[in-house]
Structure 1
């Protein structure tokens, strides 16, 4: 094609409408993305072996990553004191082994108490219902159930079914043999992965960026750094707060003499990993047992809960979590509902850090799109009088 023909084509209405048009180009991109998603859905069975491999290696990697984010500040502190990173990694591994050994000494007592709690639960629940029925009018259960059903329907929460979530979790985990084999693999491989993460984890972002073009390398490093900060902030913060909550509840319940206080306190700490819902769910068994035990125990449990909430919200959370992830509470609730119904209990736990990472990626992509598209240039929408000035 001659230069004259090329110029004629560029000046044609077709070129300006279908090629040199920002909005049409956006439509092209959306169509390509939709086609790629459709093709991936069609050929997804091909990747089943890959998914099986990911399921096998995911548990040790997740365990190693959790311990990495918990202990990497200690490794960095040792390095700042002049200790080589290799020796710092070994010291941290030995420290983790010591902590796990000490905790293993407490596990038999917790298991015994948990078994007693499960065995006596029907008796406790029956006594609880009898106590409550003495103070509430006849037919209160049907009225409460009707109110709950209306509330769930109005706020579209009827799909947030814990039984369904647990069923999905069990189904996603697989058979007992598969679970046992994965746990054994994780026990032996997670410490090895953790050691190398502690030893060379600080070099990983630069290694990844070295495979990228030079023009996008610095931006990619910034993106990886922000993603790492979001993940580390959430994992380290939530786990440390959960451990603190468990310790406070166990001490408080033992002081007031609440039956099954240790196992309930540990469960409350674990549930505290789930934002908002965790604290509420962790209090339910304690309240039920307190109602069965009598009015004085109800007051004692309320005092323990008030003290724990005050210390957690005023001291522990601000010191450990620092700045939050800037996620609206309504968004968190929607994420919990979605993660629970799609992936079970595991989805409830991991959906928020996954969302935080995706949010960072989206913000960077949107900023890039703002620069290259020209659709967000304020100069294009200024009045003519302002442009002349």
Structure 2
């Protein structure tokens, strides 16, 4: 009986009264409930539709909130009422949008139309250059040594292109649906953003009111650190992307590259994705420059190299700093994984999502170290 009582006390100490084991059992119970409910489609289908509907407007509103909230807080500190500050910001944004629609957008549209009209010419010139390269003596020797067949390669590329085109045409209805959802999201963003800017200070307190009193301070610290990570990334990355686009536009104008505005805007938009974005943006610039002349190609590569050096050595260290503390290799793997899982949206949200998850996991591990008793407590 003594052994039975000792085992009972030990079981209570290690399992029942152990907070970490209780936490694991709680997670297991939640996982089992989710597994059971996923087998009943009508339970999660409305939730999935709801998330797909509100996710994009919330993301866009959050991005603009982190961009505009410092201005709102600054003007509020100057004794200007918050609602008046938001109205002034909205008027400025409307003015900027009107300026873009009347001046910048027509120029971009004109260059895009010209670029599309020149695509057959570019394709023909590139094909001629490829055939000339494949007909050279060096390439013939190389092709014979590795048993390379250029005709077979061109047939493969043509088949792949046809397959991609057919797939694109078949998914046209899905594309139109995505465009409709995007337009609806853009229409609802100003309303959501207005209330976020107006009531943003109260949101953390409201969320924490659902948490137990014992963990509210810790939860507030976690939320504060997550918010800092997201705001640092959004503000910094957008400023860096704008600087890259501006510098490339100036450089392309100096060397006289065709469609410089479209190519610079494309580079600015794709630079939102770290490391992989610039590699994607350089492709159309390479095509335009190589078709123009070999000298223009060399000039474009020089301009691109200079801009990337300026961005890597001066702009990013000053604006982004080391706030995220994420290794570049980790960022690349995170972006590739998120892209395979969630598509374009996953690529855009990969880095801030990883930063938020890293904050949560690090705090959870600190809590585990403190509660499990498996680690020595350092003074």
Distance 1:51 1:29, change over 3 A: closer
1:65 aligns with 2:62: yes
- State the Cα distance separating 1:36 from its structure 2 match: 4.2
Distance 1:262 1:27, change over 3 A: closer
**Secondary structure, aligned partner of 1:90:** helix
TM-superposition CA deviations, 1:332-385 (whole Å, max 9, x none): 222122111122111111122111111111111111111111111269xxxxxx
Distance 1:297 1:40, change over 3 A: same
Q: Does the CA contact (< 8 Å) of 1:19 and 1:25 recur in 2? A: no
TM-superposition CA deviations, 1:95-145 (whole Å, max 9, x none): 2222222122221221231132133223213323434665673256897x9
Distance 2:334 2:70 in 1: 29
In the alignment, what sits opposite 1:11? 6
Q: Does the CA contact (< 8 Å) of 1:18 and 1:24 recur in 2? A: no
Q: How does 1:181-200 map to 2 (within 5 A)?
A: 181-200=180-199
Q: Does the CA contact (< 8 Å) of 1:131 and 1:291 recur in 2? A: no
Distance 1:276 1:200 in 2: 36
Distance 1:64 1:187, change over 3 A: same
Distance 1:141 1:32, change over 3 A: farther
TM-superposition CA deviations, 1:201-250 (whole Å, max 9, x none): 12211221123222111111111111111111111111221122112212
Q: How does 1:1-389 map to 2 (within 5 A)?
A: 9-12=4-7, 16=10, 20=14, 32=29, 35-43=32-40, 45-105=42-102, 106-131=104-129, 134=132, 137-138=138-139, 174=174, 176=176, 178-377=177-376
Q: Does the CA contact (< 8 Å) of 2:370 and 2:377 recur in 1? A: no
- C-alpha RMSD of matched pairs (Å): 3.3
Distance 1:214 1:27 in 2: 21
Q: What TM-score do you get using the length of structure 2 for normalisation?
A: 0.82
Distance 1:141 1:28, change over 3 A: farther
Q: Does the CA contact (< 8 Å) of 1:128 and 1:289 recur in 2? A: no
Distance 2:129 2:358 in 1: 48
Q: Which runs of 5+ in 1 are unaligned?
A: 147-162, 380-389
Q: Does the CA contact (< 8 Å) of 1:64 and 1:194 recur in 2? A: yes
Q: Does the CA contact (< 8 Å) of 1:93 and 1:195 recur in 2? A: no
Distance 2:58 2:31 in 1: 32
Distance 1:233 1:16, change over 3 A: same
Q: What TM-score do you get using the length of structure 1 for normalisation?
A: 0.80
Distance 2:28 2:341 in 1: 27
**Secondary structure, aligned partner of 1:11:** helix
TM-superposition CA deviations, 1:43-66 (whole Å, max 9, x none): 454121122122222222222111
**Secondary structure, aligned partner of 1:138:** helix
Distance 2:36 2:184 in 1: 34
Q: Which moved more, 1:36-45 or 1:222-231?
A: 36-45
Distance 1:72 1:368, change over 3 A: same
Distance 2:24 2:217 in 1: 30
Q: Which moved more, 1:224-233 or 1:247-256?
A: 247-256
Distance 1:43 1:352 in 2: 33
Distance 2:190 2:259 in 1: 33
Distance 1:261 1:17 in 2: 72
Distance 1:9 1:276 in 2: 62
TM-superposition CA deviations, 1:76-98 (whole Å, max 9, x none): 22122221222111122222222
- State the Cα distance separating 1:256 from its structure 2 match: 1.5
Aligned residues: 353
